[in-house]
């Protein structure tokens, strides 16, 4: 009897210790102590898809520039907003200097209206694509107008300064794409192919973040920009699904480190393509929230919330 009690007690302690270790790791991911002088990008774990949600939890990245400017690139589904606000609050952020929408789907802009309510916003950056059939799109456009927030339209070929030291090149969309008959049948694909493709350059370090581009969009961008797309780090387009990550795109960007943001392994073979030649791949389902930090010298330090429980992608 005594022995059983002891085992039970030890088991309880082990569970408690691992839960608090997990919390400790989350705190490390969002600890801003090492951010000064670095470009930091936090890829958020946005939770599992809620039973009542019709869409994925989506993407959210919190970026901080070496001189302390804050960018939130996408905000996930409205039901995942607490993951975003918990992270922002842990980082002590009260002002979002750049609130950027890769494209206007709910799993990317669903939290925008809430963020505009709770944080001071410098300016909102979007493509020129309007998506007025979405109530969440209308809600944040209304919030921009009501709060008199500056709204900047980004187009293919534009350059944006993220603080003093980081340059953002915009490689999509052109704004000239007319809906082809095929795209009219499948508007989701058309909208995803209008995603902003953003290349961040800090010194020698380069990162590509391009929303939910499908293969067609990837190929069109490679045809326009070719070698300019080369980056050390990339987020796999469209949550690592097989709608995207064409060979043409992977060869053009040729990342050494790839991040995938999803509550599921959308496609195992796509995920494996990003580790084929010894490159690193991080996935929010397997690694939890992730912080990438670079001092601008092709140096990349990564902190993950969780330890992998699978060797499938090693
Ligand atoms: Zn998405």
DSSP, residue by residue, 241-302: -TTS--HHHHHHH--SEEEE--SS-S-HHHHHHTTTTS-EEEEHHHH-SEEEEE-SSS--EE
Q: How far is the CA of 197 from the centre of ligand 1 (A)?
A: 14
| Ion ligand 1 neighbours, Cβ < 5 Å | 107, 212
Give the 3-state secondary structure of residue 49.
Answer: coil
Predicted confidence (pLDDT) per residue in 90-134, tens digit: 999 999 999 999 999 999 999 999 999 999 999 999 999 888 888
Spans of all domains in the chain: 31-304
Residues 254-308 have pLDDT tens digits of 999 999 999 999 999 999 999 998 999 999 999 999 999 999 999 999 999 999 9
Q: Tell how far the Cα of 77 is from the centroid of ligand 1, in angstroms.
A: 9
| Cα 153 to averaged position of ligand 1 atoms, centre (Å) | 20
- What's the gap in Å between 254 CA and the centre of ligand 1? 22
Beta strand pairing status for 280-283 and 95-100? unpaired
What confidence tens digit (pLDDT) does each residue in 168-225 have? 999 999 976 666 666 656 689 989 999 999 999 999 999 999 999 999 999 999 999 9
Residue 147 has a pLDDT of: 95
What is the CATH topology of the domain spanning 31-304? Metallo-beta-lactamase; Chain A (3.60.15)
DSSP label at 11? H
Is pTM beyond 0.75? Reply is yes
CB 162 within 8 A of CB 62: no
Residue 141's contacts (CB-CB under 8 Å, 6 or more residues apart) are none
How far does the centroid of ligand 1 lie from the alpha carbon of residue 36, in Å? 30
Percent of the chain exceeding pLDDT 90 equals 80
């Amino acid at each position: 009897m005594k022995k059983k009690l002891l085992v039970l007690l030890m088991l309880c302690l082990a569970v408690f210790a691992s839960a608090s270790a997990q919390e400790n790791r989350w705190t490390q991911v969002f600890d801003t102590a090492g951010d000064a002088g670095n470009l930091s990008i936090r890829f958020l774990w946005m939770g599992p898809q809620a039973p009542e949600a019709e869409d994925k939890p989506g993407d959210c990245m919190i970026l901080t520039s070496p001189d302390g400017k804050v960018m939130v690139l996408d905000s996930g589904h409205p039901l995942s907003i607490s993951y975003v606000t918990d992270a922002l609050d842990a980082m002590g952020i009260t002002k979002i200097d750049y609130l950027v929408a890769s494209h206007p789907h709910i799993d990317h802009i669903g939290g925008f209206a809430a963020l505009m309510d709770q944080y001071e916003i410098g300016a909102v950056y979007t493509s020129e694509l309007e998506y007025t059939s979405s109530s969440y799109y209308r809600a944040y456009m209304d919030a921009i107008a009501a709060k008199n927030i500056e709204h900047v339209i980004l187009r293919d070929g534009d350059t944006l300064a993220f603080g003093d030291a980081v340059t953002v090149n915009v490689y999509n969309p052109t704004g000239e794409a007319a809906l082809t008959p095929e795209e009219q049948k499948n508007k989701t694909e058309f909208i995803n192919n209008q995603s902003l493709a953003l290349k961040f350059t800090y010194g020698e370090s380069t990162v590509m973040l391009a929303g939910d581009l499908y293969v067609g969009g990837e190929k069109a961008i490679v045809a326009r920009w070719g070698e300019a797309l080369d980056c050390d780090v990339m987020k796999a387009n469209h949550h690592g699904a097989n709608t995207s990550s064409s060979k043409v795109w992977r060869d053009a960007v040729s990342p050494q480190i790839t991040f995938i943001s999803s509550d599921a392994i959308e496609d195992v073979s796509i995920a494996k393509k990003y580790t084929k030649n010894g490159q690193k791949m991080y996935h929010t389902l397997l690694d939890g929230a992730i912080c990438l930090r670079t001092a601008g010298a092709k140096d990349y330090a990564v902190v993950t919330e969780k330890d992998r429980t699978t060797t499938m992608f090693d």
